[in-house]
Structure 1
Amino acid sequence: MEELIKYGEKFFDELEIAIYRTRDASVNIELNEVSTSALRERVVTIIRGLKDKRLGVSIVDTDDKKALRDAIERAYKMSRLNKPDEKWVSLPLPGKYRAPRKMDKEIKEVSPDCFVELAKESIDQALQEEGVVVAGGGGGAEWRESLIMNSNGVNVFQEGGGAFFYIELVGMKGGKVTPGIFDFDARLSLNLDVESVVKSAVQKVKWAFNVERSKTEEAKVILQPWALSSLLNYAFFPAFSGEKLMKGTTPLMNKLEETISSDLLNVYDDPLHELSINPIIADDEGTPTRKNVLVEKGVFKGFIWDNYWANIKEVKSTGNGKRNFSTGGIGIALHNVVIENGEQEIEDIIGEIKHGYLVDSFQGAHSSNPDNGNFAVVANPAFLIEDGEIKGSTVFMMSGNIYELLPSIYAISKEQKVLPFGGSMVVPSVAFENVRIAGK
């Protein structure tokens, strides 16, 4: 590809070529049956070129060299139509990369048949429980390869992949229908613990058959990983973007080294964390990734940056450039958020609660406002805790501000869950006290 860079330099002051190859084996479950299985392979090449600070982009579904030459020329023609970006500084320079994680090459060759068998086993296991319906689910493995090169000398290739399985159950018995109950597993290997996924979901369905009323009150609330991650992804994490800092739209402006949470909370972004299913050594611009501490013992420690906004701020990129495959552009994003675990088992945290709630999932988290931290969500399914035991399912509204909620953390579970959706995350259950809820 070096000759393509040289060819592009005839047209551009700076040029970037990014080639992505993906192989995806998957299966879907619908209403107690395996509905579809598929194997998809794709190649996408994205050309970004700058001429007189005018950006030109071309996206093609091939890595054929002749086609890429044509794409470079098209990108140049597009650049001549665009206005110059006077804020532009340069594409990234080469950097030092961390040692890559060892990858399981079985993921690269796995057939969808493997996940069809896992799906059938999970369905059979779930249906052994009376009144349980397998509403949906699925599994799969994705293998990714990328080559990022630019005219400043960046040249980095990386590969890897992960596997996941999830299931959604609904309980139907005695005229009662439970909410959908969701559970999952994700790993850097094919050793998925499907049995535990189904067992956990079935247990929650059993709890959900007994419906309890919630009331408007202040109570202890435990957010399980899926609920917690959805709330933080929409109400909190966008505030760490350096772009938002530069535009003045983050609540964290002028908060560096200030306490924003309970001192139990430690959050960082690290794609090479031992549980990460996104172990990349470079971001989508070829900048080396690293561990970026966001919150340490409740104290805000810093923003994340891509190359563009870091250059404007005159700081170093933190390696958080993420490609938009629709536009070819780069934005700021987290790779693998880790919320550090605590010392207590989740059963012990539940066992210490005289009256409170366990929340499995939120509805409406996407409507949260990251520019001020406000949120309004429905906890569903949620479970009532009385005298240290789960008594049944319930539903309630929970609204407020994330910066008022985080200081009320009083316990974090030892167990962590790897979340494969919406970006990789490693998340424990987190308990809050004096949470205001509105019963339904």
Structure 2
Amino acid sequence: MENLIRYAEKLFDEVEIAVYRSREVSASVELNEISMTGVRSGAVTVIRGIKDKRLGLAIVDSDEESRVREAIDQAAKMARLNSRDEKWVSLPEPGKYREKPKPNYELKEAAPDALVEMLVRAIKLSREKEPHAVVAGGEGGVSWEERHIVNSHGVDVFQEGGAAFFFIELVGMKDNVVTPGIFDFDAKRDLNLDVEGVVERAVQKVKWAYTVKPSRNEEVPIIFGPWASAGLLSFALFPAFSGERLVKETTPLADKVGEKIASDVITLYDDPFHPLAIEPVIADGEGVPTRKNILIENGTFKGFVWDNYWAKVYGTESTGNGKRDLGSGGISIGFHSMVIENGKRSLEDMISNIEHGYFVDGFQGAHSSNPDNGNFAVTANPAFLIKDGEVVGSSVFLVAGNIYDLLKEASEVSKEQTVMPFMTTMITPYIKFENVKIAGK
């Protein structure tokens, strides 16, 4: 890397070279049968160079020195053709990094056999616990990544690590009722995935779904499951924390630092070092040290997150939230592990206190939410009716509103926390909201 940086410095005022080596192992199930296994590996190198405030980017699917030199030359040509970016300040300087977490090298050498065994066990358990259900889909996967980021200002950081995940989708067919797809999952930094727990939770939801209950227009308490929370918040709320949106005046949170935007039970932060985090990185995509960034504390908005570019445009410092897109090579503001702090009572206890309400396992349509104002309109499916402290059946209904109004109605969070490897990894409890208006279907 040192030779490559010296070569690139002859062509640029400043330059960054980022090498990503990855290995992915997967196995899939479809209709109770193992449908596919695979192992993929490769390397990607991204060159980002600046000459006279002109940016040049190049990507090559290799880490071989000769190929990387060609990419450097290509980036230099691109920089000459591009317009000047008068907002550009500089690439980041070296920072103080936390001690690297010890990688689990078992994941680096994982084979499909271990994943196939998990899926076969899941199929067998599912059929034993609920013969009327079909394992319609599912997947196990292990990912391993090594990333090395070097720039001409002295940044030189290497990280490696991996994670494993497992999920199944069940569809129940009983007494002329076909349930919607019911998901459950687990993700960790090791291969000790909770196959039995995943199957047990999924089967329970299938059994609830056999009893279909009508819904009506009303105002009720609702408990959001991890999938529902991760889907809605990722689209309606999280983008508003971006410093880029603050600069561009497209966030509803401008001028709201220090104000209440949620109820006291909501504390939200981005923490790559959380014990449940599946990617505990010490540096972001451009080599800036990562840290815990509190976004909402007991309902109060605490501030925005930044990458290097937009932080310098605004006159502040990066929070270590530069995320690299390996498709384009560019950096944008993103998150590592978004955590909603958990509470003291179990989901079971929370349900037992509801006379009439719902538990929502998933939302459809969350991607259409508007982060510029927080408005959303989604379909709750699957949703489960709660009567006198017990789940009595499944239902479908519409929920529309504003995410900030909804957050102020949060009344409790469960002690359980679940890792959701969604668009952004989220670690979330079950969240109870009061007075949620629904439209029956």
Amino acid at match of 1:254: D
Asked whether the 8 Å contact 2:115–2:140 carries over to 1, the reply is yes
Deviation, 1:424, is 1.8
1:185-215 per-residue CA deviation (whole Å, 9 max, x = no partner) reads: 0001110011110110000000000000111
**Offset from partner CA, 1:121-160 (integer Å, 9 cap, x none):** 1011111212101110001110110000000000000000
Taking the TM superposition and a 5 Å limit, the aligned residue runs for 1:262-301 are 262-301=263-302
The letter of the residue matching 1:16 is E
- Which whole-Å deviations, capped at 9, do the CAs of 1:172-194 have from their partners, x for residues lacking one? 01211001000000001110011
Secondary structure of 1:415's counterpart equals: coil
Q: Is the 8 A contact 2:230 2:422 kept in 1?
A: no
TM score, norm. by length of structure 1: 0.99
For 2:423 and 2:235, how far apart are their aligned partners in 1?
Answer: 11
Measured in 2, the distance between the counterparts of 1:432 and 1:74 equals 53
Distance 1:125 1:301 in 2: 46
Distance (whole Å) between structure 2 residues aligned to residue 263 and residue 197 of structure 1:
31
Say which SS state the counterpart of residue 398 (structure 1) adopts.
Answer: strand
- Matching residue's letter, 1:45: T
> Structure 2: how far apart are the matches of 1:231 and 1:162?
24
8 Å CA contact 2:171–2:206 kept in 1: the answer is: yes
The corresponding residue for 2:32 is 32
Please list, as runs of the form range in 1=range in 2, the aligned pairs for 1:31-180 lying within 5 A after superposition. 31-128=31-128, 129-180=130-181
- Superposition map of 1:247-266 within 5 A: 247-266=248-267
Q: Is the 8 A contact 2:270 2:292 kept in 1?
A: yes
The aligned residue for residue 430 of structure 1 is: 431
Displacement over 6 Å in runs of 4+: none
Q: What is the alpha-carbon distance in structure 1 between the residues aligned to residue 239 and residue 281 of structure 2?
A: 21
Distance in 2 between residues matched to 1:101 and 1:339, nearest whole Å: 22
State the SS of the aligned residue for 1:92: coil
Letter in 1 for 2:277: S
* Deviation (angstroms), 1:63: 0.7
Q: Structure 2 CA distance, aligned partners of 1:391 and 1:35?
A: 35
Deviation for aligned residue 1:32: 0.7
On the 8 A contact 2:234/2:424 being kept in 1, the answer is no
Q: Secondary structure at the match of 1:84?
A: coil
Q: Which amino acid aligns with 1:108?
A: K
Distance 1:439 1:423 in 2: 31
The offset of 1:423, in angstroms, is: 2.8
Distance in 2 of aligned mates of 1:223 and 1:157: 38
2-structure distance, mates of 1:135, 1:2:
50
Partner of 2:419: 418
SS at match of 2:417: strand
Q: What is residue 187 of structure 2 aligned with on the other side?
A: 186
Counterpart residue number, 1:9? 9
CA–CA separation in structure 2 for the residues paired with 1:426 and 1:48:
32
Count of matched residue positions in the alignment of Structure 1 and Structure 2? 440
Any idea what the Cα deviations from partners look like across 1:367-424, whole Å, max 9, x if unmatched?
Answer: 0000000000000000000000000000000000001110001111000001123232
Partner of 2:305: 304
Secondary structure of the residue aligned to 1:283 is: coil
Whether contact under 8 Å (2:225, 2:430) holds in the other structure is yes
Letter in 2 for 1:28: S
User: Distance in 1 between the 2:59 and 2:305 partners?
Assistant: 27
Query: Can you list the C-alpha shifts for 1:30-83, whole angstroms capped at 9, x where unaligned?
Result: 111110000000100000100000001110011111111111111101111100
Q: Is the 8 A contact 2:377 2:400 kept in 1?
A: yes
Matched position secondary structure for 1:118: helix
- Deviating more after overlay: 352-361 vs 320-329: 320-329
1:373 matched to 2:374? The reply is yes
Q: Quick one: which amino acid aligns to residue 364 of structure 2? A: Q
Q: What amino acid does structure 1 have at the position aligned with 2:45?
A: T
Does the residue aligned with 1:400 lie in a helix, a strand or coil?
Answer: strand
Root-mean-square deviation (Å) = 0.6
In structure 2, what residue type is equivalent to 1:386? K
Q: Corresponding residue for 1:217? A: 218
Aligned counterparts of 1:280 and 1:375: Cα–Cα separation in 2: 32
Which residue pairs with 1:389 in the alignment? 390
Report the 3-state secondary structure (helix = DSSP H, G, I; strand = E; otherwise coil) of the residue aligned with 1:142. Answer: strand
CA distance in 2, matches of 1:142, 1:409: 35
Give 1:27's aligned amino acid.
Answer: A
Distance in 2 (CA, whole Å) between partners of 1:8 and 1:15 is 7
Give the Cα–Cα distance (whole angstroms) in 1 for the partners of residues 118 and 226 of structure 2. 24
* Amino acid paired to 1:243: E
**One-letter code aligned to 1:150:** N
Distance 1:357 1:100 in 2: 43
Q: Matches of 1:35 and 1:218 in 2, distance apart?
A: 44
SS at match of 2:108: helix
Following the alignment from structure 2 to structure 1, what is the Cα–Cα distance between the partners of residues 192 and 283?
26
TM-superposed deviation, 1:228 = 0.7
Compute the displacement of 1:19 (Å): 0.1
**Separation in 1, partners of 2:229, 2:328:** 30
Q: Give the letter aligned to residue 171 of structure 1.
A: G
Q: Distance in 2 between matches of 1:376 and 1:193?
A: 33
- Return the alpha-carbon distance in structure 2 between the equivalents of residues 428 and 255 of structure 1: 26
Cα deviation, 1:266-312, whole Å, max 9, x if unaligned, reads 00001011110011000000000000000000000010000000001
